[in-house]
Amino acid sequence: MFSLEEQARYARHFSLEQVGIAGQEKLKQASVLCIGAGGLGSPSCLYLAAAGIGRIGIVDPDTVELSNLQRQILHSQSSIGQSKLKSGASRIQEINPHVKVEQHNVRFSATNAMDIASQYDVIIDGTDNFPTRYLSNDVAYLLKKPNIYASIFRFEGQLSVFAPHLGGPCYRCMLPEPPDAGSVPSCAEAGVLGVLPGIMGSLQAMEAIKIILECGSPPLGRLIHYDALSTSFREFNLRSDPECPLCGSNPSITEPIDYQQSCSKTQTKSNNENIMEQPNEINVEQLKDKLDQAFDGLLIDVRESWEHNVSHIDSAKHIPMGEIPEFVPELNNMGTGQELLIICKSGGRSARVMDYLADQGFTNVYNVIGGMDAWSKLTP
């Protein structure tokens, strides 16, 4: 039952067929865990609270800093120096005093993750680092709870819902292991436009509410990519990996793992090491030999469109260097052991793309040294 005050508060929900009084009751009975009260967690918590989620848990050991305020709208000038939990809880209470806020003043780690996450229905991954992102995914899978994933990078965001118990893959099906330290710039290094986490965190709140209401279709097995600069949403299909170390048929991960904050690879693949000891290069003669035979790998031309228009190899797939990250899921679908040959104009950009893809877990990537310049001399 809702009080008169609550009836007035949620009137716009009551008049939606998909929510109504019954749906609002579901929201009131529901609990959501926000891992992180930063850029993504801020809008998530605010909208979940406003929507009338009964219990919201926040895990965050940090204090509010001035540089957070550009994007972390849960906090304000007056809360600088306070714990993010205290700041967030008081802001949530201001928005909706009916919400119960649970404060978990710890770093989310393998020792506490199962205990904390088991107290909630839905998990929102609002983390900004790989160790916690993998932990969030793993714990959600082990507890059979939906893990609502988002991440941001400069002007680009990604969203998906990982819930293999409802269908679709987990995060590890996409990226089995965390990348090496230094290969992915952190928020502090890379910069982020403040509105971007606002948009992605709001999408996370929407997905949490949809799952609780059991309405619409969550992006299970779909990776939604948002490019703020071009104002475009693109979508990639993600497949469950039968070899996934977590949700695959023969899992090697059966309990939470603490990766080092440095994100070093704890389980390096032996074939990966072997390849890394050799120079990952082929020359254009070797490339020609491969293409003349039945080459079943993929040659990727990472030059810009205008360069590609001047001349290109017909069988090469054209993906400009800047767009490579968003093609990683697609390439992953082909298998990380798939042979990938990277070519650019003279071999510089392709070497960087090769390093990037190796960091993403691809084990069979080669740089075509000399690039198209060398190719055009070989095949004038």
- Torsion over CA of 186, 187, 190 and 194, rounded to 10 degrees? 170
- Residue 85: both structure tokens together: 């939990």
Q: Which of residues 170-229 bind Zn ion (CB under 5 A)?
A: 170, 172-173
- Nearest to Zn ion by Cβ — which residue? 244
Contact criterion met (CB below 8 Å) for 128 and 36: yes
Contact criterion met (CB below 8 Å) for 219 and 158: no
How many residues interact with Zn ion (rule CB under 5 A)? 6
Q: Taking the complex as a whole, how short is the minimal distance between the CB of residue 221 and Zn ion, in angstroms?
A: 11
List beta partners, residue 287: none
Strands across the sheet containing 365-368: 281-282, 365-368, 340-343, 298-301, 317-318
Catalytic entry in 170, 187, 244, 247: 187
Q: Taking the complex as a whole, how short is the minimal distance between the CB of residue 246 and Zn ion, in angstroms?
A: 5
Question: Is 187 part of the annotated catalytic residue set?
Answer: yes
Q: Taking the complex as a whole, how short is the minimal distance between the CB of residue 239 and Zn ion, in angstroms?
A: 10
- Torsion over CA of 339, 343, 349 and 353, rounded to 10 degrees? -20
Of 24 and 137, which has the nearer Cβ to Zn ion?
137
Binding mask 235-274 for Zn ion (x = CB under 5 A): ---------x-xx---------------------------
Binding mask 292-331 for Zn ion (x = CB under 5 A): ----------------------------------------
Of 49 and 163, which has the nearer Cβ to Zn ion?
163
Q: Taking the complex as a whole, how short is the minimal distance between the CB of residue 270 and Zn ion, in angstroms?
A: 21
**Sole window of 13-21, 164-172, 187-195, 255-263 interacting with Zn ion (rule: CB under 5 A):** 164-172
Of 38 and 169, which has the nearer Cβ to Zn ion?
169
Of 125 and 301, which has the nearer Cβ to Zn ion?
125
Of 10 and 171, which has the nearer Cβ to Zn ion?
171
| Type of residue found at 229 | L
Whole-number Å distance between alpha carbons of 21 and 121? 20
Whole-number Å distance between alpha carbons of 321 and 231? 20
Q: Taking the complex as a whole, how short is the minimal distance between the CB of residue 113 and Zn ion, in angstroms?
A: 17
Of 55 and 172, which has the nearer Cβ to Zn ion?
172
| Type of residue found at 275 | I
Question: Is 45 part of the annotated catalytic residue set?
Answer: no
Whole-number Å distance between alpha carbons of 11 and 19? 10
Q: How far is CA 322 from the centre of its chain?
A: 18
Q: Which residues contact 40 (CB under 8 A, 6 or more apart)?
A: 124, 125, 126, 127, 128, 150, 152, 197, 200, 201, 204
Longest alpha-carbon distance in the chain: 81
Catalytic entry in 34, 173, 244, 344: 344
Q: Taking the complex as a whole, how short is the minimal distance between the CB of residue 162 and Zn ion, in angstroms?
A: 8
186 three-state secondary structure: coil
Interface with Zn ion (CB under 5 A): 170, 172-173, 244, 246-247
- Residues that are catalytic: 187, 344
